[in-house]
Amino acid sequence: MNKKGSEKTRHVVAWLNKAEWDQVRDYLYSMDSSLQRFALERISAWRARCANSFPVAVDCTADLVRCQVRDRSGQLTGDDLTLMYGTALVRFVNLITDQHN
């Protein structure tokens, strides 16, 4: 069966629609920790829906935002924060390099 030139390729994604995607993106980059936590919960749900095909950029961004939220909460010591940020950055590098192999 031939595809027509105007026919678009469809991809299955974890988010409901573009509005949900935009909302989560806006909440992630908000300075309001409660909005960021909401966005992180949505991303966790998305990750559960499509664990094997989850976008690396979204996953790594969520890890770094999670570090920021925990940092601003003041509940962690300097060493804990260093480990948390370091782990997020190492994971980012590993995911990026793993995709290129």
Predicted confidence at residue 95, as pLDDT, reads 78
Question: Considering the chain, what is the average pLDDT of its residues?
Answer: 86
pLDDT in tens, 40-56: 999 999 988 887 788 88
Is residue 12 one of the residues assigned to a domain?
no
Q: Judge whether 68 and 97 are in contact, CB under 8 Å.
A: no
SS3 38: helix
- pTM, to two decimals: 0.77
Is residue 8 one of the residues assigned to a domain?
no
Is residue 13 one of the residues assigned to a domain?
no
Is residue 58 one of the residues assigned to a domain?
yes
Is residue 50 one of the residues assigned to a domain?
yes
Range of the domain at 95: 18-99
Is residue 9 one of the residues assigned to a domain?
no
CA distance 31 to 13: 27
- The domain tally of the chain equals 1
